[in-house]
Amino acid sequence: MSRSKIILVSLLLTSFLTISFVISFLSGISVIAQNNNAFSKEGEKTTTRETVVTGGHGTGYNTIRTTGDVLDSINADERTDLTIDPMKYLREFNYGRISTTDNGTTLRDFTIIAQDKNLEVSPGVFMDAWTFNGTIPGPTIRATEGDLVKIKFINNGSKPHTMHFHGIHQSQMDGVFEIIAPGGSFTYEFTAEPFGLFLYHCHMQPLEEHISKGLYGVYIVDPKTPRPPADEMVMVMNGYDNDFDGENNFYTVNGIPNYYMHHPIQIEKNKLIRVYLVNILEFDQINNFHLHANLFHFYRTGTSLTPNEYTDTVTFSQGERGILEFSYKYPGPYMFHAHKTEFAEKGWTGLFLVKEDQSESDVKAFTKGERAVYPPEISNNTFTTQTKTKDSQSTIVSYGESSQGGN
């Protein structure tokens, strides 16, 4: 064994190791470069874009700093193609174009247009949706018991659709056998009966597909003697299956995951709140609603004026619904969410912000405190800034009357 041989062999070995190091470093180097980014930028005294990201709904959760982009799955601010403006939808009731028939019955005319739309169902995540009037859920239709309801349905979508209303009506108005082809239209006509809380949805097969893609909305029939005045709101519990694997990826109340967590619903202390709560959630067997620090009177399907239950949690299967009545005794923020925690964590959460006698002090305190990480400006006109793309909605729905709540 000569010396030169040893040298040769060790040369071979070192070259292998050198290659190995080079490869490892090449694959690792970009990471290191990224890690050093912040420092080098600081050294050059250029502006360092560093964002704090919180891993939850507020202070107390872990935070990280990043020089890159933020994947914010919770806050839907600064988005443009949202499925809906949840704050507008919450208290928006469409009463239709009102006229009176010869025999004195109130006639309510509505126009609903089915259309395909690519919507942002959760921050940064888009879905090819099917909609009634461009939003998910579709507009809330409201009539009084005994009224004649006329709905002109135009299908501008790419697939045949129908509108199936819950309630009592004739077979040909049931939206099952009259299939409306793309480009076609149909007028549904029926008497609003009985009073209660209903829903409407497309009844084309595959039903699962037509519902999970967004074709549903709320239909309210008021009793002839109105319920007591209250701050009224609609809440539709739904979900989105973006990857079409038969499981929901996101759960929401009123169309956008976590929206009301960052845009709390402002209510007044001691004022009667009435929630029209509907569950249209596809794929999952059940869904539920839980109210924090309070209990509510529950009117199942809203078909009676006597409450069935005094509770803080109510569980629905798909298509079930009910009216909730409550008022808050103490001011402050209170959560409401699905007590199925998986759904809550995938977006079905919200906040009521109870104000003391219209005072803004609590709101301000709340904004400065817990909301510091996600600082949405809590004021009444926060939401109007986001509604500019929703203009088309008003031209499609023919409002004879539109009101904010029933008080």
Partner 1 sequence: MEFDENRNNRKTSRKKMIIIALIPLIVLSGMLVFLLGPGMSILNIGIPLPEITIEKIEFQNDKIVAFIRNTGPEGVDVAQADINDRMIPAGIEPSKTLSRLAEAKVIVPFSWIAGVPYEVGITISDGTRFSKSVEAAALAPTPNVEQASYFAIIGIYVGVIPVLIGLLWFPFIKRLSMNKYKFFLSLTAGLLVFLGIDALVESNGIVEQNIAGAFNGQVLIAMITIITFLVLLYTSEKLVERAKMKSDDNISKSNLVTYSSSPSTTKIPQKQQQQQQQQLAKPFAIAMMIAIGIGLHNFGEGLAIGAAVLLGEVALSTFLIVGFTLHNTTEGLAIVAPMAKSGGKVTIRKLVVMGLIAGIPTIIGAWIGGFLYSPIAAIIFLSIGAGAIFQVVYSITSWMSSNTSEPRKAMLSTPMIAGFTVGMAIMYATSLLIPS
Give the interface with partner 1 as residue ranges (CB under 8 A): 1-2, 4-6, 8-10, 12-13, 16-17, 20-21, 23-25, 27-28, 30-31, 34, 37, 51, 53-56, 61-75, 121-127, 240, 242-243, 249, 257, 342, 345-347
Rank residues 122 and 162 by Cβ distance to partner 1 and give the closer one. Answer: 122
State which residue, 13 or 181, has the beta carbon closest to partner 1. 13
- Judged by beta carbon, residue 24 or residue 205, the one nearer partner 1 is 24
Give whichever of 37 and 144 is closer to partner 1, judged by the CB atom: 37
Single-letter residue type at 318: Q
Smallest distance, partner 1 to C-beta of residue 337, A: 14
Q: Give the other-Cβ count within 10 Å of 390's Cβ.
A: 16
Shortest distance, position 345 Cβ to partner 1, whole Å: 5
Give 49 or 329: the residue with its C-beta nearer to partner 1: 49
What is the C-alpha to C-alpha distance for residues 74 and 189, in angstroms, rounded to an integer? 41
**Tokens in use for 234?**
């609609």
DSSP calls for 203-267: -PSSHHHHHHTT-EEEEEEE-SSPPPP-EEEEEEEEEE-TT-SSS-SEEEETTSTTHHHHSPEEE
Nearer to partner 1, 23 or 168 (CB): 23
Decide: 121 and 71 in contact? Cβ < 8 Å. Answer: no
Q: Which two tokens stand for residue 158?
A: 């790419």
CA distance 299 to 306: 7
Look at strands 265-268 and 349-355 and give their pairing. Answer: parallel
DSSP 178-192: S-B-TT-EEEEEEE-
Q: How far is the CB of 293 from partner 1 (least distance, A)?
A: 24
User: How far is CA 261 from each of CA 74, 138, 253, 290, 336, rounded to the nearest angstrom?
Assistant: 9, 22, 11, 14, 9
Compute φ and ψ for 61, nearest 5 degrees: -85, 160
Per-residue CA distances from 162 to 114, 132, 151, 239, 320 (Å): 9, 11, 12, 21, 20
Tell me how far apart the alpha carbons of residues 52 and 138 are, in angstroms, rounded to a whole number.
36
Q: How far is the CB of 289 from partner 1 (least distance, A)?
A: 20
Both tokens of residue 189?
A: 């006509």
Report the residue number, 59 or 172, with the smaller CB distance to partner 1.
59
Q: For the CB of residue 283, give the shortest distance to partner 1 in the complex, in Å.
A: 14
CA distance 326 to 295: 7
Nearer to partner 1, 106 or 242 (CB): 242
Shortest distance in whole angstroms from residue 75 CB to partner 1: 8
Q: Looking at beta carbons only, is 69 or 401 nearer to partner 1?
A: 69
Q: Whole-angstrom Cα distance, residue 215 to residue 289? A: 22
CB 123 to partner 1: min, Å: 7
CB 297 to partner 1: min, Å: 33
Cβ-count burial of 96 within 10 angstroms (0-12 exposed, 13-18 middle, 19+ buried)? Answer: buried
> Of 208 and 342, which CB lies nearer to partner 1 in the complex structure?
342
Please provide residue 212's backbone torsions phi and psi, each rounded to the nearest 5 degrees.
-65, -20
Q: Cβ 122 to partner 1, closest distance in Å?
A: 7
Beta carbon of residue 265, minimum distance to partner 1 (angstroms, whole number):
22
